[in-house]
Amino acid sequence: AIFAEFGTIQVENRYLSKMTHQPEYAQKTERVFEILNEISPPSGLFPYYFKNSFRGAPQDVERLKNGDPKPKFTNNKITFGAMADSTYEYMLKIWLQGGKKEPMYREMWDKAIDSMHSQLLQYSKPSGLAYVADSVGGMRLDHKMDHLVCFIGGALALGAYTDPLGLDSPRAQRDLKTARAVTYTCYQMYARMNTGISAEFVQFEEGRDFVIGRGAPHYLLRPEAFESFFILNQLTGDPVYREWGWECFQAIEKYCKTHIAYGSLGNVQDTNGKPRNKMESFFLAETLKYLYLLQDPDTEIDILNKHVFNTEAHPLRMFPVIDEEEIFSLKNHVAG
């Protein structure tokens, strides 16, 4: 099993339980995080491949009743990119969704982010661009960063602004600083390409910051950089994120748009290249949505007090907001 798969269904299933008043959807998927918390490495950073020995045999059922078998890690690779990203994201978002009343999730988030800073956060030469490297076992790092990792800037900022210790705490200020720095790197992943569009991942090399990763010159219409632009703009009010988003959107319009839709690019350095005949569903669900919201000064989306975005950018109301609305609706019904 892949870490990002079984850790990215909780926000949706909890919402389903909340709206249907059927708790089993939440209970079954929350159990995943309870087990993850039980088997967590000291760092709070998880390898992204797991194996579960449960096969449904009678002896397996009996072992399960006794708290065994637990999943086992089957590799030692750690990343905030592909195959892991959204489970870390949901540690924070489940806590926010529930009204900050379930400390286990926030504690898992803070533990992972502390270790990210101490073990994975790196700076390029000569420009000092911040990036989150992959761990390939022990202290060995692969100095690459997926476009997928660009979600972390927005997540760090959201975590800082909701930190139980307060925004002025050293931890929150550290996280906000890193959020800004990594998001700037993600912007540079666009700005430094000939088309103004980012590659799938970049490799950091001493002396020249980064180059396109081997076999990764393509752009799949990904949203993660724009997600962080939107969150940082909404939280800080800094207009630079809106400007970056507009710049990137214009590049996408120029190089990815066709007469009927948008297509991915085969090589972001080729200004004569044509869009490929493929448009991922997340381009509509996430990329365009975040770019639109980034430019909308009147949006009713409130990521601090009312809404949690799931990993596919669907805004869901936080549970305290749902409870308030139900009480208000009930009062109106009684009054009427």
Q: Where in the chain are the domains?
A: 3-54+63-316
DSSP conformation class of 120: I
Structure confidence at residue 325 as a pLDDT band (50, 70, 90): confident
Per-residue model confidence as pLDDT tens digits over 124-174: 999 999 999 999 987 899 999 999 999 999 999 999 999 999 999 999 999
Task: Please tell me the distance from the alpha carbon of residue 286 to that of residue 317, in angstroms, as a whole number.
Answer: 17
The residues near 329 (Cβ < 8 Å, ≥ 6 apart) are none
pLDDT tens digits, residue range 196-233?
A: 999 999 999 999 999 999 999 999 999 999 999 999 99
The pLDDT assigned to 69 comes to: 64
The closest of 207, 208, 205, 211 to 189, measured between CA atoms, is 211
Q: Cα dihedral sign for 30, 31, 34, 36?
A: negative
Q: How far apart (Å, rounded) are the C-alpha atoms in residues 265 and 190?
A: 13
This prediction has a pTM of 0.93
- In this predicted structure, the answer to whether residue 55 has a pLDDT above a threshold of 60 is no
311 annotated as belonging to a binding site for a ligand: yes
Tell me the average pLDDT across 297-316.
97
Task: Classify domain 3-54+63-316 at the CATH topology level.
Answer: Glycosyltransferase (1.50.10)
The per-residue pLDDT of the chain, averaged, comes to 94
pLDDT beyond 70 at 59: no
Known catalytic residues are 200
Which comes out higher in pLDDT, residue 18 or 336?
18
Report the C-alpha gap between 115 and 134 in whole angstroms.
12
Confidence band for 335, pLDDT divided at 50, 70 and 90: low
Can you read off the two tokens belonging to residue 243?
A: 């400007």
Statement: residue 260 has pLDDT above 60: yes
More confident residue, 42 or 68: 42
Is the pLDDT confidence value at 66 over 90? no
Does 104 score more than 60 pLDDT?
yes
* Percent of the chain residues past pLDDT 90, beyond the cut: 88
pLDDT computed for residue 137 by the predictor: 86
Q: Is 144 helix (H, G, I), strand (E, B) or coil?
A: strand
